[in-house]
Amino acid sequence: MASGDQDPLLLLRQSIASGSTILPTASADPSAPEVKLSQATHLTFVTPSRVSLPIDTPTRFVSNDTPVDLRSIYFAWLNREVAIPEYNTFASQLNDELGGKGQVRKFAFVERLDLITWLEGASEESEYIKPLAGDRDGTTSTAAAALASKGAAAPAIGATVGRSGKGTVDPRLAVIYNSERKMGDRNSVLRGIKPTDFSHVRKHAAQFMSKKPLHPSSSNISNNPSLATHQKPRRPDPIILLSPSASSLLRMSNIKSFLESGQYVPPDSLAASSSSGASMLHINRLMKEIDPNRPMRFILVEGPEQFKPEYWSRVVAVFTTGQSWQFKNYKWSNPTELFRHVPGIYVGWRGEQPPESVRGWGHRVLNIGVDRWKETGLTGMDSSRWRDREAVEGIWKMIESNMRSKGWRRDQAPSSI
């Protein structure tokens, strides 16, 4: 199959799902040997059939209205486990080795997280990935991505995935289509195959609709016709900032188990070591007062080094140890000013007074105490930590209350905080 008939993103995701080899090569020949990424001119995929694509091929992943090349996508995947500062350092080193023959794009942390999540198959949609050509509603690309995440062969861009009789259909898709339940249209469901005129119902409904106020979102669409032809933008994920201090009781290694499971473990314990190398995490939490039907995904990071200005409107909480150097690179470096916009959270040992700096910042910093850790048994787990969940619920209650007051809704986020 010609390289022009293959989508680079789907090929990469399919290869990751199947665990097949991806080789940087210095030739368009699919059998060429592997070379260093700085010397590569092509990227060779072994599955489903051996095919090589130019490494500077533009992809459907768009950053700042610019398609990102295949080399940058592949480099971000290779360095998915490293922290943002190391990732930026490695990218600069590779750019030096390329010597002007190419340039690796450095992703912002939200773009990088979104890309890695999609490539791993944990998400079937991405706000940064455009649909395939001729697939405005995303049906073809979503179906192909779903097959790729299961290790199936992704259809070529030029192949017809539908059942119009034109082109070819992947055999796996054909099996799925044959099992589909046939659905009728509006007329056949309501009154059989004979079209029925329901225009008279509009006259009866007019007296009720005129008295009902328009929903703010529908009013905005009616005032701006251009919005009515586009899909509603996805609500962005809220962000929680952690303290990078080594003295913090909550770090990237144990924050997920604390906020999701309601149990505290020391950040350097064996139970918390699985997330110790992560530079960002995401957790899910059902915020009933904002959206009772679907959980919200929160992004957790230790610092705002890769923040764009608009990311600050998504920050919903800041964990602190009371050390003001933590806020040096924040939008508001003065703690008093910071906690007027974003609520703070201090977690210390139960029964101990918080630092004087925390007390001086006022009621906008929530003081939470947890019981001291006691090593018990061979597993090192303390089974008596039943009060941890109470502390966690207090934190989430404060975050949810603040989010509601700032304008977080089921389908929108605030433009400023």
Residue 207 lies in a domain: no
Distance, in Å, from the CA atom of 399 to the CA atom of 343, rounded to the nearest integer, reads: 8
What's the structural domain count of the chain?
A: 2
Judge if 259 and 374 occupy the same domain: yes
Whether 244 and 335 share a structural domain:
yes
Does any domain span residue 220?
no
> How many CA atoms lie less than 13 Å away from 280 in the CB half-sphere?
25
Decide if 196 is inside a domain: no
pLDDT over 60 (residue 206): yes
Token code pair at residue 327: 């806020």
What is the sign, positive or negative, of the torsion defined by CA atoms of 175, 172, 5, 233?
A: positive
* Whether 155 and 249 share a structural domain: no
Range of the domain at 260: 239-406
Q: Give the model's confidence band at 298: pLDDT under 50 very low, under 70 low, under 90 confident, else very high.
A: very high
- Least confident window among 23-37, 185-199, 302-316, 333-347: 185-199
Which residue, 157, 70, 83, is CA-closest to 113?
83
396 and 301 in a common domain: yes
Is 243 found in the same domain as 158?
Answer: no
Q: Residue 225 domain-assigned?
A: no
- Asked whether residue 399 is domain-assigned, the answer is yes
Residue after which a domain boundary falls, among 162, 179, 201: 162
- Assess whether 125 and 254 both reside in one domain: no
On whether residue 185 sits in a domain, the answer given is no
28 touches 97 (CB < 8 A): no
pLDDT at 21: 86
Same-domain check for residues 148 and 277: no
Within a domain: residue 231?
no
- In 10 A of CB 133, how many CB atoms? 12
Q: Do 250 and 388 sit in the same domain of this protein?
A: yes
CA end-to-end span of the chain, whole Å? 52
pLDDT of residue 67: 92
Query: Which pLDDT score is estimated for 228?
Result: 46
Please give the torsion angle defined by the CA atoms of residues 206, 210, 214 and 219, in that order, rounded to the nearest 10 degrees.
80
Q: What is the pLDDT of residue 222?
A: 47
Confidence of residue 379 (pLDDT cuts 50, 70, 90): low
Alpha carbon distance 75, 95 (integer Å): 11
- pLDDT grade for 323, boundaries at 50, 70 and 90: very high
Say if residue 139 is in the same domain as residue 243.
no
Beta bridge partners of 412: 409
| Both structure tokens of 352 | 């101990």
**Is it the case that residue 244 has pLDDT exceeding 60?**
yes
Mean pLDDT rounded to a whole number for the chain: 79
Q: Are 263 and 392 members of one domain?
A: yes
* 364, pLDDT greater than 70: yes
Q: Please give the single-letter amino acid code of residue 72.
A: S
Confidence check: pLDDT of 101 > 90: no
Is 132 in the same domain as 254? no
109-120 vs 70-78: helix axis angle to the nearest 10?
Answer: 80
Look at residues 145, 162, 179 and tell me which one is the last residue of a structural domain.
162
What is the share, in percent, of the chain residues with pLDDT greater than 70?
Answer: 74
Contacts for 112 with CB less than 8 Å, ≥ 6 apart: 76, 80, 84, 87
When pLDDT is averaged across residues 171-175 and rounded to a whole number, the result is 71
Rg (CA), the chain: 26
Whether 334 shows a pLDDT value over 90: the answer reads: yes
Residues ≥6 apart with Cβ < 8 Å to 200: none
pLDDT given for residue 337 in this prediction? 92
312 part of a folded domain: yes
In this prediction, residue 271 has a pLDDT band, given cuts at 50, 70 and 90, of low
Residues 247 and 368 in one domain: yes
Domain with residue 328: its CATH number is 3.40.50.11990
Domain final residue pick, 113, 147, 162: 162
Does the pLDDT value for residue 17 go beyond 50?
Answer: yes
Nearest CA among 116, 4, 133, 110 for reference residue 57: 4
Highest mean pLDDT among 69-83, 114-128, 143-157, 187-201: 69-83
